[in-house]
C-alpha cells in the first residue's frame, strides 16, 4: 500500500531580494515528490522548519490566520484525496492525486458545496433559492447521511452519477425505510441541480436514478370525529391555549389548505364569497402561477371572524403537530392528527359527498388528477364499509 506525506514546502535556494520564499504544498510518496505552488510568499526567517509552519511576520500580524487557513485547507484537500485511495486499497501515483485535485477547485466537492449552499440559501436574495430554517435542518440531516456514507471523505460533485446515487440508496436502506431513502436522495439531487444552476460542473447522469415514494396512507377523519373536534373547540375553558391550533386544523378541514398556506393565511386574501391566494408550493414555478380561489362556507367563516390579528397565528410545523397530538388525546380520537390529516379530510369528505373529481382537484390545487384519485379511492372504501355494516345488520336481523 502507498504511503504519502502532505506538507508545507519552500525552496531555501531561491530566496527573493525581499527575503521572501514562495510556498508550496509538497506531496511525497515512494521517494517521489511533487510541489504544487500556493501563490503565497513568506519571509524565510518566519517559517518554522521543524513544524513546517509559517509564523508571525510582526507582533500583531493581521494576515497570519488567513494564510494559515489557506495552507491547511490545501493540505486537507490533497490528504482527503489520498485517504480515499488508501481506504479503497488502490495503488496511485502522485499524478493521480493531482488529477483528482483539479476537480476539487471552485467549491465542487459534494460535502463542501452542500454545507456552503445550505448555509447561504437561508439568506438567498432570490425567492426560488431561499429555504426556511426548518428546511435547512432537514437538508443538514440528509448531508449527515452523505458524510456517514463517505466516512467524511469528500468527493467531487462530478463523480456523483446515477450509479453513485443507487449505491448511496442501498446504504440508506440498511438504516431506514423507503420514505426516508426517498427524502435523502431527493435532497442530494436537489443540491446537484442547484450546483448546475450555479455553473458548477455536474454529471447529469445523476438524473437517471429515481426512487419512487411509496403511496402514503390517506388518513382522514370521519364526520363523527370532526363533530367531536367542533364540540371541543366550542368548549373554550377545556381547550385552553390549544384553541388556535384546533382553529387552524378545523379551518384546513373546511378549506383544504396545506400547512404552508395555513401559516401564511391573511385577511387580505378575502374576496367576495371566499379567499384567493397563490399556493406556497407554486411559488417556484417557472410559469406565472395562477391564484387559487377557495369558497368559504359559513362554518369555515366562524374560524376567521374574531381573529386576534390578521392571521391565524400558527406556530412552526413541528409545534403545530405537537399541539394536534395533545388535542387528539383530549378529544379521545385514536388518530395521529397532523396538518396533512386536515387536508385529507377535506378531499375525502368532498369525494364521499359525490363532488366530481375535477372540482376536487381544482379546489385542492392539484395539477394531476392521479393525485386526487387517492381521495376517490378512500371514499369508495368508506362506502364499501358502510354497505358491509348494512349487510351485518340484516344478517343479525335474520338470526
> Is residue 360 exposed (0-12), middle (13-18) or buried (19+ Cβ within 10 Å)?
buried
116 and 107 Cβ atoms separated by less than 8 Å: yes
377: how many CB neighbours lie within 10 A of its CB? 13
Residue whose C-alpha cell is 507582533: 59
User: Which homologous superfamily is 223-394 in?
Assistant: Intergrase catalytic core (1.10.443.10)
In angstroms, the CA 287 to CA 46 distance is 60
Residues whose CB falls within 8 Å of the CB of residue 214, separated by 6 or more in sequence, listed in order: 178, 179, 182
- The per-residue b/e assignment along 140-168, b for 16 or more CB within 10 angstroms, e otherwise, is eebbebbeebbeebbbbbeebbeebbeeb
CA 31 to CA 371: how far, in whole Å?
Answer: 64
Quickly count helices (H) and strands (E) in the chain: 15, 8
Check if the beta carbon of residue 136 is closer than 8 Å to that of residue 114: no
Rounded to the nearest 10°, the torsion over CA 293, 297, 302, 305 is 40
How many CB atoms sit inside 10 A of residue 4's CB? 19
108-208 in CATH: which number? Answer: 1.10.150
Query: Running DSSP on this structure, what letter comes out for residue 40?
Result: E
From the list 59, 56, 37, the residue with the least C-alpha distance to 48 is: 56
pTM beyond 0.85: the answer is: no
Q: Domain residues of the chain, as ranges?
A: 5-104, 108-208, 223-394
pLDDT tens sequence for the chain (399 residues): 467 889 999 998 899 999 999 999 999 987 789 999 998 999 999 999 999 999 999 988 989 998 998 899 888 888 888 887 887 777 888 888 887 776 555 457 899 899 988 988 888 777 777 888 888 999 999 999 999 999 888 888 988 999 999 999 999 999 988 888 999 999 999 999 998 988 888 999 999 999 887 666 678 898 899 999 999 999 999 999 999 999 999 999 999 999 999 999 999 999 999 999 988 876 655 567 788 999 999 999 999 988 988 999 899 888 999 999 999 999 999 999 988 899 999 988 888 888 888 898 888 888 878 778 877 766 566 655 555 555 665 566 555
**Which are the contacts of 298, defined by CB distance < 8 A and separation ≥ 6?**
none
Residue 286 is classified by DSSP as S
Amino acid at each position: 500500500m502507498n504511503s504519502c506525506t502532505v506538507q508545507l514546502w519552500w525552496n531555501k535556494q531561491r530566496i527573493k531580494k525581499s527575503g521572501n520564499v514562495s510556498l508550496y504544498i509538497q506531496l511525497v510518496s515512494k521517494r517521489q515528490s511533487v510541489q504544487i505552488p500556493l501563490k503565497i510568499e513568506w519571509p524565510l526567517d518566519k517559517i518554522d522548519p521543524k513544524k513546517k509552519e509559517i509564523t508571525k511576520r510582526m507582533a500583531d500580524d493581521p494576515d497570519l490566520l488567513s494564510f494559515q487557513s489557506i495552507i491547511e485547507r490545501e493540505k486537507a484537500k490533497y490528504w482527503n484525496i489520498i485517504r480515499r485511495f488508501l481506504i479503497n486499497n488502490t495503488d496511485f501515483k502522485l499524478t493521480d492525486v493531482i488529477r483528482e485535485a483539479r476537480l476539487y477547485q471552485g467549491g465542487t466537492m459534494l460535502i463542501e458545496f452542500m454545507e456552503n449552499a445550505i448555509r447561504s440559501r437561508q439568506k438567498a436574495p432570490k425567492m426560488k433559492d431561499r429555504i426556511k430554517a426548518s428546511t435547512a435542518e432537514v437538508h443538514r440531516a440528509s448531508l449527515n447521511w452523505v458524510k456517514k456514507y463517505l466516512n467524511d471523505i469528500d468527493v467531487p460533485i462530478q463523480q456523483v452519477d446515477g450509479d453513485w446515487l443507487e449505491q448511496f440508496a442501498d446504504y440508506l436502506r440498511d438504516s431506514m425505510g423507503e420514505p426516508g431513502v426517498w427524502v435523502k436522495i431527493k435532497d442530494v439531487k436537489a443540491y446537484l441541480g442547484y450546483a448546475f444552476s450555479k455553473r458548477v460542473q455536474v454529471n447529469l447522469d445523476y438524473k437517471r436514478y429515481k426512487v419512487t415514494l411509496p403511496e402514503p396512507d390517506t388518513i382522514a377523519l370521519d364526520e363523527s370525529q370532526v363533530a367531536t373536534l367542533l364540540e371541543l373547540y366550542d368548549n373554550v375553558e377545556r381547550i385552553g391555549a390549544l384553541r388556535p391550533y384546533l382553529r387552524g386544523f378545523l379551518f384546513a378541514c373546511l378549506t383544504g389548505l396545506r400547512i404552508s398556506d395555513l401559516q401564511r393565511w391573511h385577511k387580505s386574501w378575502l374576496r367576495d364569497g371566499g379567499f384567493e391566494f397563490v399556493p406556497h408550493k407554486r411559488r417556484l414555478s417557472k410559469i406565472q402561477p395562477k391564484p387559487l380561489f377557495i369558497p368559504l362556507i359559513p362554518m369555515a367563516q366562524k374560524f376567521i371572524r374574531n381573529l386576534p390579528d390578521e392571521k391565524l397565528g400558527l406556530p412552526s410545523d413541528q409545534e403545530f403537530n405537537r399541539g394536534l397530538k395533545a388535542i387528539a388525546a383530549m378529544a379521545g380520537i385514536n388518530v395521529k392528527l397532523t396538518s396533512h390529516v386536515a387536508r385529507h379530510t377535506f378531499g375525502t369528505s368532498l369525494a364521499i359527498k359525490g363532488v366530481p373529481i375535477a372540482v376536487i382537484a381544482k379546489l385542492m390545487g392539484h395539477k394531476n388528477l392521479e393525485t386526487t384519485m387517492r381521495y376517490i379511492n378512500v371514499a369508495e372504501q368508506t362506502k364499501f364499509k358502510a354497505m358491509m355494516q348494512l349487510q351485518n345488520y340484516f344478517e343479525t336481523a335474520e338470526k
